[in-house]
Structure 1
């Protein structure tokens, strides 16, 4: 467990943003090499693939993510990052667990046969890394998987995992839009001679809130966030343009399509109402499907986790509006010689220490809130979370590999 812990502490202290994960990939690849894997770098960017062959049998893939977020850390940890990036979503834990599971399985080769493939995927936070690896011939170069397994840190008690059902997706369908609203620049003293894109942008932000509040059925899960708005260079200058970053999440592809159409309608209408000299630019930066696990395989992995952790530590997962590009690993296997998609299994991993959990769930005005993923205060209790993370991944892989 010490190598996995050392890897975690190193990666947490040295996070790298999407597309910049060179050091992370190097450190992860070294741990896979030490576990006996044949390692390939540079797959679809900084992607890493480690292969551990152990005779004929299933090809079981483990996937973890390399990238961090553009968040300045405020955890106060001794090993905190001091830069403009942070592992605020647990990807460092995922990598340490995957490397630890590979090392554990390498020491248990008398109990299984087949091929273990461990993937360090870049650029998950921008929903672009899985597609890049697949376009770089991931399955053609390393063999079509029989199953791909992944886990994700969540604000649940350490030592627990949570599985979904086939009725509710584990993660939502989502899209990210880049929007540019055009105006006509001018002097703040003569606003009548200009067209102010900042006012149009403010109207867009306000009006977009009604897409969820007044155009979406209360029972339909949809989230719409304007996470970025930028315009201008000085208080006395009306700028030529304003840009926005819009994120949309929905429980189904149908709801996502409907919401995206409404977003485009609002943006165009507000631009027209402002008298913009030309139409706005709206581009889809990334899009991902809802994440649904293969029911039969997920049930088997859930049973393996129950045997490992006990019934009380395998929790139900109600679904989430978080997004993932992990579904592409399943879609990519479909249609070749009539084959179905690759089965996917994905579960949530508890990372909150017992004391923090008790205080946060005690209720009352003094109870501190749990820091969610993407918060600058997000910090897995690594002392209680890492060992179960390694064990959960190894147990799931062992369940899917052939027995000796």
Structure 2
């Protein structure tokens, strides 16, 4: 009898799942058709945004355009939220709350593509320097896909119930936008999301594909500065000096043994000295050397252990050279950091299912964690404990990818002045998949 009851329950569960999958399959057809309609508009928008990039904390016109797009779609809009960010709310009956985030800022890079809509923008940085500006990290595509998704969801509002909370976020490249939006009350002044979703383009993936990983996807980022002190003097008499350049050199080498000998190989850590400055003349031993480091991590415990080891290694290198205790290196770790992006495993599985229904399972690629940073992770580290998922959006033309692979060449990476995405395929895929994700989650 028990076996019969268990079999009966299993049968009912399978029937329910079959009905749910069948229902979503029918909606998937509508999603694909509507997304195709919206793609042309989103591509036109993308070209406009690409031609008119704005630096971090200066996204004034971009924010106005995003606000206009939301108002035209019927959203309640709040501009200048936590800086230049724009927040929109669309209520469509009782149901879950889904948050969609796009970033808006561009980079101080001179574009070197052949696009007719290439940027020739020159702007002034916050430090007063004149620089060329380019959307070299795909934020123009993120905004266009986000807008297309919003328009598609509104067009299909009879297919779902719930609330959309969307944010066009400032200053992702400075890791400031997400934190400032949260501090301004994103999750207290607006409906609290049940899920938060976002994209980032990936030129290492073909356009038409989605990269997905459940768990760590982007690394946490900290920066540190080490000031190494010495006893300066004439380069002809090193025996009368304590050379901080030699001490700094020893520190650089010894830092690498922290990762290889003190941290578990199962805990990814990167310690990179990206800047080292000391001295003014070839025949003068300086009094100090400054080094700047970037630290990448996934585990809070591992990075704290690494920082402790950096301080110990720096101190011991100076002591070996005979520096007194009051002149040991100063290790400063900036309080400004980007936490890791940790995709919620259960949410990622759901996204995998929905995306597979929209574009086919063969176009969903399981990707590896990356050691670059993204401030989207901050949305998942608040007291609300919101499940988040950031997906890679493939952006390189498939024919170009095949050609490059055959020639043993690589695609132009993110932050390259020659970044050349397949705009149409990338945006269309992004709209389809994100719309499917939202409707799928709202229909549970």
- In the superposition, the TM-score normalised over structure 1's length comes to 0.85
Match of 1:370 in 2: 411
Please say if residues 224 and 331 of structure 2, whose CA atoms lie closer than 8 Å, have aligned partners that are also in contact: no
Q: 1:185 to 1:137 in 2, by over 3 A?
A: farther
Q: 1:106 to 1:164 in 2, by over 3 A?
A: same
Question: Superposition pairs for residues 1-400 of structure 1, below 5 Å?
Answer: 1-82=39-120, 83-154=131-202, 155-165=204-214, 168-182=215-229, 197=244, 200-230=247-277, 241-272=288-319, 275=323, 277=327, 279-334=329-384, 341-362=385-406, 366-400=407-441
Q: Which runs of 5+ in 1 are unaligned?
A: 335-340
Tell me the distance in 1 between the aligned counterparts of 2:232 and 2:117.
47
Tell me the distance in 2 between the aligned counterparts of 1:150 and 1:349.
10
Tell me the distance in 1 between the aligned counterparts of 2:291 and 2:165.
39
Q: State the number of aligned residues.
A: 392
Tell me the distance in 1 between the aligned counterparts of 2:379 and 2:369.
19
Tell me whether 29-38 or 127-136 shows the greater mean CA deviation.
Answer: 29-38
Q: 1:272 to 1:343 in 2, by over 3 A?
A: same
Q: Which runs of 5+ in 2 are unaligned?
A: 1-38, 121-130
Superposition CA RMSD, Å: 2.9
Tell me the distance in 1 between the aligned counterparts of 2:164 and 2:81.
17
1:75 positional shift: 3.6
Tell me the distance in 2 between the aligned counterparts of 1:191 and 1:26.
61
Tell me the distance in 2 between the aligned counterparts of 1:78 and 1:124.
27
Q: 1:261 to 1:393 in 2, by over 3 A?
A: same
Kindly provide the CA deviation profile for residues 167-189 of structure 1, in whole angstroms up to 9, marking residues without a partner as x: x4222233222444455677778
Q: 1:215 to 1:30 in 2, by over 3 A?
A: same
Kindly provide the CA deviation profile for residues 338-362 of structure 1, in whole angstroms up to 9, marking residues without a partner as x: xxx1121221111111122102323
Tell me the distance in 1 between the aligned counterparts of 2:59 and 2:288.
32
- In the superposition, the TM-score normalised over structure 2's length comes to 0.78
Tell me the distance in 1 between the aligned counterparts of 2:253 and 2:109.
25
Kindly provide the CA deviation profile for residues 270-309 of structure 1, in whole angstroms up to 9, marking residues without a partner as x: 4555648464241224334433223332222211101100
Tell me the distance in 2 between the aligned counterparts of 1:252 and 1:146.
25
1:373 positional shift: 2.4
Kindly provide the CA deviation profile for residues 35-87 of structure 1, in whole angstroms up to 9, marking residues without a partner as x: 22222122222221112222222211101112233444444444334444433
Tell me whether 180-189 or 392-401 shows the greater mean CA deviation.
Answer: 180-189
Q: 1:185 to 1:18 in 2, by over 3 A?
A: farther
Match of 1:337 in 2: none
1:257 positional shift: 2.2
Tell me whether 252-261 or 225-234 shows the greater mean CA deviation.
Answer: 225-234
Tell me the distance in 2 between the aligned counterparts of 1:283 and 1:271.
19
1:149 positional shift: 0.7
Please say if residues 177 and 286 of structure 1, whose CA atoms lie closer than 8 Å, have aligned partners that are also in contact: no
Q: 1:350 to 1:197 in 2, by over 3 A?
A: same
Please say if residues 311 and 331 of structure 2, whose CA atoms lie closer than 8 Å, have aligned partners that are also in contact: no
Tell me the distance in 2 between the aligned counterparts of 1:183 and 1:304.
60
Tell me the distance in 2 between the aligned counterparts of 1:291 and 1:309.
25
Q: 1:179 to 1:93 in 2, by over 3 A?
A: farther
Tell me the distance in 1 between the aligned counterparts of 2:403 and 2:421.
16
